Amino acid sequence: MGILRIVGTPIGNLEDITLRALRTFKESDFILCEDTRVTRRLLDHYEIKTSTISYHQHSGELKVDKILTLLKEGKNLALVTDAGTPGISDPGGKLVSEARAALGDDFKIESIPGPAALTTAISIAGAGFDRFLFLGFLPHKKGRQTMLKEIIASEHSVVVYESKHRAAKFLSEMIKLEEATGISKEIIVARELTKMFESLYFGSATSVLEKLQADNNNLKGEFVILIKQNSKNKNKDEYGEE
């Protein structure tokens, strides 16, 4: 039986790739990609000729069956997302679960660690993120307000992903909730991490929104938004003791 390897890839800068990841790509029979065109740019950069197969959130049972058949035939597969580590806010986790359920305990899955926007943002955010709640991409409509209320009330720091179309909307929603609840949060917005126009914005939801709206270019790209814990928790050390 083949091996399924979960491979982290750059979130922007193509130099952020491990030697192990490159070797895995070369030794794999196929690479499963969210978008084959995106992955091909990375592979071409490193002159890797391994064939690719698309696998994304809209892939149905027929595609999953094809992948399982390849594994049963002894093919070694590498799973990647467009950027970062599979299984974090993408369909990679679903494939891992389906493969494990179908192929049993003898089936081998390996992690090839690499970049993730989540950990990249936290590493430059400063203190306050020893413990945090990660919510990924918030719902567009149903359930969104409930999650926003959970964020504003949370005693833990919170991290979310937002697209360029909704980053400003998220901050506007936070401002309204702060006004309604009297709870203020410190916000950090990380934009275009590891890319040429990487930017960090710190402050209240209001001040960060003003900085983003000051230049339309500030609202382009991918965003990680970090919301610091309530001030009443700031007197605790990293072990939760006063």
Options 3.30.70.2190, 3.40.1160.10, 1.25.10.10, 3.40.1010.10; CATH for 3-112 is 3.40.1010.10
For residue 56, the model assigns a pLDDT of 87
CA 230 to chain centroid, in Å, comes to 24
Helix/strand number for the chain, H first, E second: 8, 10
Residues, the chain, total? Answer: 242
Domain spans of the chain, in order of start: 3-112, 117-233
Is the pLDDT confidence value at 236 over 70? no
Tell me the C-alpha to C-alpha distance, in Å, between residue 136 and each of 47, 88, 169, 222. 33, 8, 16, 13
For residue 231, the model assigns a pLDDT of 53
Condensed to tens digits (0 to 9), the pLDDT of residues 2-14 reads: 999 999 999 999 9
For residue 214, the model assigns a pLDDT of 93
pTM for this one? 0.86
For residue 242, the model assigns a pLDDT of 42
**Contact in structure between 211 and 218 (CB atoms under 8 Å):** yes
143/110 Cα distance (integer angstroms)? 34
Domain 117-233 in this protein, CATH class: alpha beta
- Band (pLDDT 50/70/90 cuts) for residue 54 is very high
- Band (pLDDT 50/70/90 cuts) for residue 233 is very low
Tell me the C-alpha to C-alpha distance, in Å, between residue 77 and each of 57, 91, 96, 107. 18, 16, 12, 12
Q: What are phi and psi of 77, to 5 degrees?
A: -120, 145
14/217 Cα distance (integer angstroms)? 22
Condensed to tens digits (0 to 9), the pLDDT of residues 131-179 reads: 999 999 999 889 999 999 999 999 999 999 998 889 999 999 999 999 9
Is the pLDDT confidence value at 230 over 80? no
155 DSSP β-pair partners: none
Which ranges in 111-159 belong to alpha helices (H)?
117-123, 144-153
98/198 Cα distance (integer angstroms)? 36
Contact partners, residue 112, CB within 8 Å, separation at least 6: 5, 6, 7, 8, 18, 20, 21, 24, 78
